Amino acid sequence: MPKIILPNEETQLWSGIAKDDELASIFQTMNIDLENVKGKIVLAEKLTEVTDNTALANLSAAIFDFIRTDADNTDRWWAGVQAGRLFKSTNTDPEGTWAQDAISGTPTDAQDDLEVFQDKLYVPVADNIDEMDNGTWTANWYSGLTGASALVSTVPHPLKKFLNLLLIGDGQFLNTVDDSEVVVDPRLTLPPEYEIQWIQTDGELAYLGSKHNLKGDGRVYTWNGTDVAETDYFSVDDFNTLAGVVDARGLLVIVNARGQILEFNGSGFDEIQAFPWAYEVGNDNISNVAWIQRNGMIPTENGILFLVLGDTSYERAPGGIWYLDFLTGNLYQKYSLGQFGTKDH
């Protein structure tokens, strides 16, 4: 019987899940760090709870985004709770005290995304977008602009700053508002079976991650910011793309609903890794919540962090913060977040 020596004799490194590597040292991890001390398995740093729904009564659902802005005249961090309230830190320290925003007119049904444009904070609500400018909320700001109308209430509304434009996803439509508040509604119209899920940009192109509502071929559309139609589109090898981010190398990396991590090469997507779980055809969620949110990918110097929601129904894989290291190809669960409603730290 052949002998297998761990870790790898040549590299003396432990390896997590690696694409096409059946002899990875470790298949599944929890709170493990394979990068900090090369050649050793060590515990990851302990995460500290900053606040919870006991201290903040309306912190009652998943946080969909964090963003830093001084739109209310204080430089601080903001967080949005899906179909709920906005919360903000006291100052620029995200580990300090947090409180619910109580400025008159604050949204009570914030959702999907937060974006800063022209030093103002924008947040989608059910069928509109609210604006925070110089400490004052304007409810239903978007539909009040000339040429704009209410948004579709049953689809997500991702936001992204691109060139001199605020991009707004609205189902099959992409709407724009420029820095003089000139609206083009819609700016782009995708085929009716497509629904924009997220928007990213590398400064030259905007990337529109889209879901095929009939379970066909999901796509990422590209747009240069000036043409009357999308520049191009590319298959994501599944009916949906959950999230995407432009990494430190300037490359777009996405995750599709089956867990493949795909890198854009300019003419299509290459699989560079994949999450190690069974895929249920047509299912991109866990208890009706996508297992990676549209803002759930964070680039680092040499990789990407993924915020993954745990799955109590299918037990697909441990929830928490997963890490993909571009240098080693390792993909593994690095930090736990109380995936089943309890604390793992």
Q: How far apart are CA 57 and CA 16, in angstroms?
A: 39
| pLDDT reported for residue 49 | 86
| Distance (Å) of CA 4 to CA 20, 23, 24, 38, 63 | 17, 9, 11, 20, 44
| pLDDT reported for residue 340 | 47
Query: Which residues partner with 325 through β-bridges?
Result: 303
Helix H, strand E, coil C: the string for 13-51 is CCCCECCCCCCCCCCCCCCEECCCCCCCCEECCCCCCCC
Q: Nearest-5° angle of CA 234, CA 306, CA 238?
A: 30
pLDDT (tens digit per residue) in 177-197:
999 999 999 999 999 999 999
Kindly report the number of other CB atoms within 10 A of residue 206's CB atom. 25
R_g of the chain, CA atoms, integer Å: 21
Of 231, 232, 269, 227, which Cα lies nearest the Cα of 252?
269
pLDDT (tens digit per residue) in 276-306:
776 666 565 544 456 889 999 999 999 999 9
Beta strand residue intervals within 6-138, DSSP E? 32-33, 42-43, 63-69, 76-81, 86-89, 98-100, 115-117, 120-125, 128-133, 136-138
Low-confidence ranges of the chain (pLDDT < 50): 1-2, 4, 286-288, 314, 339-345
Ramachandran region, residue 214 (left: φ > 0; alpha: ψ -120 to 50; beta: rest):
alpha
| pLDDT reported for residue 158 | 98
Find out whether 323 and 338 touch, Cβ atoms under 8 Å: no
**H or E segment and range at residue 331:** strand 331-335
Query: Which residues partner with 169 through β-bridges?
Result: 174
| pLDDT reported for residue 42 | 82
| pLDDT reported for residue 318 | 73
Domains of the chain: 52-294+310-315 (2.130.10.10)
Q: How far apart are CA 319 and CA 332, in angstroms?
A: 11
Sequence-ordered list of residues with C-beta below 8 angstroms from that of 104, at least 6 positions apart, any chain: 137
Q: Which residues of 105-122 are buried (b: 16+ CB within 10 A; e: fewer)?
A: ebbeebbbbbbbbbebbb
For the chain, the maximum distance between any two Cα atoms, rounded to a whole number of angstroms, is 75
